[in-house]
Structure 1
Amino acid sequence: MSLFIGNISRNVDQKTIENVFNSYGPCKIEFRHRYAFVQYAKDKDGEAAKNDLNNKEFGGLKLNVEWSKKSGRFDENHSVNKSRRSNSWKQRRDSPMYRRSASLSIHSDDCPRDKILKLKLKEQKQNKQSKKDKDSKKHSKKDNHRNDDNYI
């Protein structure tokens, strides 16, 4: 399991971070911009580092040290050559976030959001219709005046 190290100060160099985290046991460190991932050979070393260094002021900022959301950033079983997108369509297909769902308005009239939407659409239609009616009245008056002029 790897640790996420966040809020690393710009005043702290990579070597200093390596020295601090290596003092808890042998580890591999993957650096990013102002954060890093640390994987210890033994979980107990990672737990000790997490407990000691989380919220500890380091270079003017408090470090954020927690277990990373995805384990095994340095896992030997993880293939570097494997395409990141190879199974992405399957994951999206099965994910509730990407699944399409039927509109609530078709199935339920009880949803307040749907009621508001229906009212707004109805109001827009009425506004368009009233505008058309006004325009048609204006045109018909103009046409009547034109016809009157022809007879004069």
Structure 2
Amino acid sequence: MTGTVKALEWEQRWNANGPVFYAKTSIDWYIVATASGEGCQGTWYWFVAGDTIKGWANSESEAKAAAQADYERRVLSALTASASEPEPVAWEVTLLMGREDEDGGDYWETRTIMYARMKCPSKNYPMALSSATPTMPS
């Protein structure tokens, strides 16, 4: 599986303690804020709306990075990788056939046929799509 999880887009607001950053996702809101309690000034915390504090950090950027990592973990945990290759939807078959011409001589002819897997009312089997015209060797 390839690709990356989209980066959280932060919007800054203010409360009595200072800046608060919000990032809206399809899961919920991620919030990063400064701490205000005794001995907590200068530290940051992050959480998902409606949940308890998920983690503490020494800076705004560390708290945002931790929130991003949590978001990526949640998104990626919901995905599954495909273990097998998809079945082909068409095949090309070239046949080599021995023939006899009008004068009784032998020659070889090739015929290329395209097949595709197509749904029929009660079956799912290959059906010819096209056939190349046979050619006489020179």
Structure 1 length as normaliser, TM-score? 0.19
The structure carrying a bigger helix percent of its residues is 1
Higher relative contact order (CA 8 A, sep 6+): 1
The structure carrying a bigger strand percent of its residues is 2
Structure 2 length as normaliser, TM-score? 0.20
